[in-house]
Every structure is written in structure tokens, then in C-alpha cells.
Structure 1
Amino acid sequence: MRSPLHLKAAVALTMLAAALQSHLHEVQAQARSQRDRGDGPIPTVIILLATIAGAAMIAGTLAAVYGKYNGKIMGK
């Protein structure tokens, strides 16, 4: 036998699935009506990867400097 909590969760999930499906249909209709949606995915990925690589280089440099001068920076 299902508890009231299970029934409430099932109803909530069903309503959520219906809302998501409705929203997806709206987004698809809007995408069909507006063909040009801005930047393409390839330049966006390139910019994102370059940003991540830059951040990793900065973090690596800081880690190397900290490792080299371990304790000397704090005046110890």
C-alpha cells in the first residue's frame, strides 16, 4: 500500500514532467521561428577551453612559486 507521501511525490513528478514537456515544445517552436541564435557552439567551446587552460596555468604558476618559496613568503 502506498503512503500519502508516495502519492504526493508521484503527482508532483507527473506535473513536473508535463511542465517540462510543455516548455520543451515552446523552446522548439521558438528555435524554429528564430534560426539565427547567436554564436555557434564551436567558438563557444574554444573560448571556454582557453579560459579553463588559462586558469589552470595561473593556478600552476602560483603553486610552483609557493612550492619554491615555501615558508619564505610568510617570513619564516
Structure 2
Amino acid sequence: MQKGLQEAARRPDRGDVSITTVIIWVAAVTGAVLVAGTIAVVIAKYNARLNGL
């Protein structure tokens, strides 16, 4: 236990994900969902007209 704590103190960066990375991923996923949802709504709205083409 003591050895592990000393190692953690010596190397504080253990590769933890930063809050900035989490924010960027959440924004990217939210944007992708919004774009996909918008496309789905437009296709559903104009589906009858698209079938006539």
C-alpha cells in the first residue's frame, strides 16, 4: 500500500480523462444526435413528396 501511494505521488498524471475532453465528447454526441434528428424529421415530413420523384 505504501509503495503504491509513493508511486502515485511521484507520477500524479495517471491518464485520467480531463473534464474538457468530456465536455467536447458530450457536445459532439449532442450535435450528431440533433443533426440526425433534424434529417429524420425532414424526411418524415416530405416522405410523400419524395415518393413521387
Q: 1:63 aligns with which of 35, 40, 52?
A: 40
Contiguous gaps of at least 5 residues in structure 2:
1-6
- The amino acid that maps onto 2:23 is I
Number of paired residues? 44
- The amino acid that maps onto 1:67 is A
Give matches, 1:12-31, under 5 Å: none
| TM-score, structure 1 as length reference | 0.46
| TM-score, structure 2 as length reference | 0.63
Say which SS state the counterpart of residue 36 (structure 2) adopts: helix
Looking at structure 2, the residues matched to 63 and 52 of structure 1 have their Cα atoms a distance apart, in angstroms, of: 16
Quote the sequence identity (%).
Answer: 43
Structure possessing the higher radius of gyration over alpha carbons: 1
Task: State the shift of 1:75 in Å.
Answer: 3.0
Question: Aligned Cα RMSD in Å?
Answer: 2.7
Q: Which has the higher contact order (CA 8 A, sep 6+)?
A: 2
Contiguous gaps of at least 5 residues in structure 1:
1-27
